[in-house]
A and B are shown apart, each in its own frame.
Chain A
């Protein structure tokens, strides 16, 4: 029987992996051969989706990119019938212990994968995430079994020794957190896995949950044993239906296998797992807000202490760890603390997964050892900026983080170095921006996000971010929108207070969301002050992104009077006679750019 693997994570499915699967089934039916199709998670090279792997007669797994339903059959014919593997879209072959096929490059030597170290993502895109058998053949549950043979203290010691720090953003030592929870004496304790990946621009957790579901659950079971908890809750955002479905299935399988809700091992450890769907609130990524949400209340944070490890969910000791942290735990337990701590820097051990997106040639999910430079990630792995544009900055850490400009491209990726340039590791979103991105617009975008996501509990965050947003909004407003000269003076007055206000929000907000909310503003001010000045003094947006500051005009010499723009203009802002030059009435223009797009004589200019 022939074997085919298709990457069917959310991004794979969105680009047509489902149709590829149907095409493979049709191919098999037409030739009356049996083909075993395995739907895997995402291997991370999203640019190449849909990806299909075919196992050759010799047992080598060869990977092909951008497979369409039309070419799927052709690839199968070539690989399985004609034994010809060098086809368009060839990515490479998997390293599998056998001597590699001659003339076919190895997948892990592909430029995109060469500098990556797959520790936590090792199974993503490789195994069938819905098969516990497949997970076991790849070492699954060995870590859990090993943990059961140790004392609770020993397990925690192992995690502490590995140097694993919370991958959700805070970077708190996981072992330390567990130690505190173990020290809290209580009949009932909880383990919560934070899968409420609310950071816009991040999808590491989704990929791990979709591609290696059991590893996350195993990590939670180990954590449960280590702190003496008997219940685990996965708080997963509702926007990830595929992940939720897989978690549900996996929990049922674990129950059927007797690993959950029954005593396991010599110590009689008994654990139950359930899933709780988030309902779309960014603030619920904060642990105390998350717990409020699990309790069925509005997701509002509360002051700490008491810390969750002492008084958490339903007032019981609770640990909250991120998906990536939990998945790391199962691998660390199986392979020992050294397998993890041998990678990385002095204070940041192991690897980190980043979601590399934005203006980048190879967007996708990358796992790199700590200490790698940003330049290596963006240019060696990511392939640089498409279209020959210039690199401007990287936004790291989402709305709580900051930007890193070109002059700091050689910065090492670790918790401390990132702090030194005013940003944070965050959960791992890396959004690349090129010369066409306006940094003021980015800051305004993040603040708009924060104002709508602020829970409203504390005043600095609720009111302060709103005022900060208004300041940025006035910066990108045209002179013509000012009612009178007083308003213009007020605008300057607000601008003068901007940095001070940002600092107050930072210093006085209750939770991490508010405390980090001004970061995008402070960080862009630090590195791109001249862009702010261009907006404020010249009322110009150098990147041509802030609509309010753009002026569309028609070059009367180039305009042929074809009337196309006048017909398409949604607000009838373009006037002119047929075969004569047209004009744009600025007051009516909504800056939609339709005329610029459709003009065949490049007569429309924007400034």
Chain B
């Protein structure tokens, strides 16, 4: 998800989809993958492309949890709040994370490095509590591990292999 190359113009991103509402969600997903989020500008351009009112697109974009309407950080931390993770203390983990990053859920840090979100369930319940960071999964977490990981990423400015 780290944007290494220049993003393509939006028309190029959506061109492979036929101009039909059926493809709206796929288009939004593709645009978000390219730009990291859905800007007002993007929504208006998609509206022109599909010939669908912006309000309808906004309605769909806000309905689904996946879509972000503001720019996320370069490192996107998503703490799993599934049942198994909850039982294993993910709420405390989330609190720790908020303190460590100094941001609330849904916010991006001032330097644009971290953003924090929660996710309903990552589906790796057997290694709960878990989180996903830039598409990578981390499991069997505790406060100490979380601290170490975040310090490491903060120092490196990115998620290291």
Contact = CB atoms under 8 A, between A and B. Distances in A.
B120 A201 contact: no
B25 A277 contact: yes
A432 to B, nearest CB: 8
Interface string A181-201: 000000000000000011111
Contacts of A449: 81, 120
B121 A200 contact: yes
Interface string A437-456: 10000100110010001010
Contacts of A398: 83
B123 A203 contact: yes
B128 interface: yes
A279 B21 CA distance: 15
A364 B88 CA distance: 15
A547 B24 CA distance: 43
A200 B66 contact: no
B139 A282 contact: no
Nearest to B125: A357
A193 B85 CA distance: 27
A395 interface: yes
B22 A296 contact: yes
A121 B18 CA distance: 38
A280 interface: yes
Contacts of B13: none
Contact of B60 (A200, A240, A296, A432): A296
Interface in B92-139: 92, 95, 99, 119-128, 130, 132, 135-139
Given A14-B127, A358-B87, A593-B92, A280 B66 contact: yes
Contacts of B128: 357-358, 363
A277 B126 contact: no
B159 interface: no
B120 A280 contact: yes
Which of A10, A395, A570: most chain B CB closer than 10 A?
A10
Contacts of A298: 59-60, 63
Interface string A346-369: 000000000111110001110000
12 contacts: A13-B137, A49-B127, A200-B81, A201-B121, A241-B135, A279-B25, A297-B21, A298-B63, A299-B63, A357-B83, A431-B84, A445-B83
Nearest to B57: A296
A177 interface: no
B82 interface: yes
A46 B29 contact: no
Nearest to B139: A14
Interface in A556-597: 570, 592-593, 597
Interface of B: 20-26, 28-29, 59-60, 63-67, 81-88, 92, 95, 99, 119-128, 130, 132, 135-140, 143
Contacts of A364: 126
A238 B140 CA distance: 22
B125 A202 contact: yes
A11 B122 CA distance: 10
A277 B23 CA distance: 11
B122 A239 contact: yes
Contacts, number: 147
B82 A293 contact: no
B101 to A, nearest CB: 13
Interface of A: 10-11, 13-15, 46-47, 49, 197-203, 206, 238-241, 276-277, 279-282, 293-299, 355-359, 363-365, 395, 398-399, 429, 431-433, 437, 442, 445-446, 449, 453, 455, 570, 592-593, 597
Given A279-B67, A280-B65, A453 B120 contact: yes
Nearest to A295: B22
B37 to A, nearest CB: 14
Given A282-B120, A431-B125, 20 more contacts: A11-B127, A14-B137, A14-B138, A46-B126, A198-B120, A200-B83, A200-B86, A203-B123, A206-B123, A276-B26, A279-B29, A280-B66, A281-B63, A281-B64, A357-B128, A358-B84, A363-B126, A395-B83, A431-B87, A455-B63
A395 B86 CA distance: 12
A296 B25 contact: yes
A239 B119 contact: yes
Nearest to B88: A358
Nearest to A597: B143
B83 A15 contact: no
B64 A299 contact: yes
Contact of A358 (B25, B83, B123, B127): B83
B83 A296 contact: no
Given A197-B123, A198-B120, A592-B95, A280 B29 contact: no
A47 B140 CA distance: 10
A283 B121 CA distance: 14
B26 to A, nearest CB: 7
Given A10-B137, A279-B67, A294 B22 contact: yes
Given A281-B63, A295-B22, A296-B25, A240 B123 contact: yes
Contacts of B95: 592
Contacts of B140: 15
B122 to A, nearest CB: 6
A15 B124 CA distance: 11
Given A277-B26, A296-B21, A429 B137 contact: no
B121 A10 contact: no
A99 B124 CA distance: 36
The list of the 5 closest CB pairs from A to B, nearest first, reads A46-B126, A201-B83, A279-B64, A280-B65, A200-B82
Nearest to B24: A296
B120 A355 contact: no
Nearest to A19: B161
Nearest to B130: A14
B18 to A, nearest CB: 11
B63 A14 contact: no
Given A241-B135, A358-B84, A363-B126, A295 B121 contact: no
A296, A358, A429 — which one has the most chain B CB atoms within 10 A of its CB?
A: A296
Contact of B124 (A11, A293, A295, A296): A11
Nearest to A358: B87
